[in-house]
Amino acid sequence: MGERPGELRALLDSVARQDGDPIETVVVGNGAPVGAVPAGVRTVELPENLGIPGGRNVGIEAFGAAGSEVDVLLFLDDDGLLERTDTAELVRAAFAGDPALGIVGFRIADPETGLTQRRHVPRLRAADPLRSSRVTTFLGGANAVRTKVLAEVGPLPGDFFYAHEETDLAWRALDAGWMIDYRADMVLLHPTMPPSRHAVYHRMVARNRVWLARRNLPAPLVPVYLGVWLLLTLVRRPSVPALKAWFGGFREGWATPCGPRRPMKWRTVWRLTRLGRPPVI
């Protein structure tokens, strides 16, 4: 959104320093000018902010429009930084070595402390962020997706704007037979910030969770999933304004179109359960 030109330049420099073949790079200005970028970096400037998934979908389309034949797309937040120079080679090796691998999520670490927050480890057993594993979702700010996955199951849900768009794509990918890995050795340095810093956080987290369930879960699991998250929200005891925003978003999720409904197969439910995160938690 044009607010961090210094951080963006540092990220692009860290991408350019990667070992192996050069990485084709596109920067999407989501309702804002991109500004100066290094030579060879393509830019797309949108007249309005389409949100996180909408902006990333434009980036996906930019590669196709340019005729680029890429096997894997790397998505990085503009205020992140690739710590190592071998990350791209690790990504290439991961996908080349596992034909069933569809998505890889990176570990996000604070640049000052090196620590990874529990919420940035996409599994229930999050105490050890240095352990790589198969997972059922991934972090949007640092990941790699096989282009065949997007061709098969479609792009990120643009209407979500912010929150849960990664899980929506992850569930569709898993339902199509792809696997998802969390890789602790692929690191994006990113300042530790609370997600609630976004004014729309509580509303969109609630609305999109309802949309996520309505779009992807078998009908019997929809009330169970949403009931569990309602209880978890109350247990966390948010402030009164946050709770009002959350319930407003929850109502909005039921009252507004959620997009196409494609409930996952029951064998996918069992697969998610075997991976340690049944789709009710």
CA angle 263, 203, 275 (to 5 degrees): 40
Which tokens hold the place of 36? Answer: 């100066």
C-beta separation of 153 from 137 below 8 A: no
99-114 residue pLDDT tens:
999 999 999 999 999 9
Average pLDDT (208-220) is 98
C-beta separation of 141 from 108 below 8 A: yes
14-68 residue pLDDT tens:
999 999 999 999 999 999 999 999 999 999 999 999 999 999 999 999 987 655 6
Measured from the Cβ of residue 258, the count of other Cβ atoms closer than 10 Å reads 20
Q: Report the pLDDT value the prediction gives residue 63, as an integer from 0 to 100.
A: 85
Helix 240-255, helix 221-235: angle, nearest 10: 170
Above 90 in pLDDT, residue 142?
yes
Q: Report the pLDDT value the prediction gives residue 151, as an integer from 0 to 100.
A: 95
Above 70 in pLDDT, residue 8?
yes
Distance CA 103, CA 135 (A): 10
Range from 25-29, 68-72, 82-86 carrying the lowest mean pLDDT? 68-72
C-beta separation of 105 from 182 below 8 A: yes
Distance CA 29, CA 89 (A): 27
C-beta separation of 102 from 143 below 8 A: no
Above 80 in pLDDT, residue 4?
yes
Distance CA 121, CA 125 (A): 8
Nearest to 206 by CA among 155, 138, 160: 160
Rg of the chain, C-alpha, whole Å: 18
Distance CA 40, CA 12 (A): 11
CA distances from 73 to 33, 85, 134, 217 (A): 23, 17, 19, 27
Distance CA 168, CA 259 (A): 11
Q: Report the pLDDT value the prediction gives residue 30, as an integer from 0 to 100.
A: 96
Tell me the average pLDDT of the chain.
95
Average pLDDT (179-188) is 98
Above 60 in pLDDT, residue 197?
no
pTM of the entire structure?
0.95
What spatial distance separates the first Cα and last Cα of the chain, rounded to whole Å?
Answer: 33
Nearest to 17 by CA among 83, 80, 102, 91: 83
Nearest to 206 by CA among 234, 248, 159: 248
Helix 221-235, helix 201-216: angle, nearest 10: 160
Q: Report the pLDDT value the prediction gives residue 1, as an integer from 0 to 100.
A: 87
Following DSSP, what letter does each residue of 236-255 receive, concatenated? T---HHHHHHHHHHHHHHHH
Above 60 in pLDDT, residue 198?
no
5-193: what CATH class?
Answer: alpha beta
| β 101-109/142-146 pair status | antiparallel
In the chain, where are the structural domains located? 5-193, 197-263
115-135 residue pLDDT tens:
999 999 999 999 999 999 999
Q: Report the pLDDT value the prediction gives residue 193, as an integer from 0 to 100.
A: 79
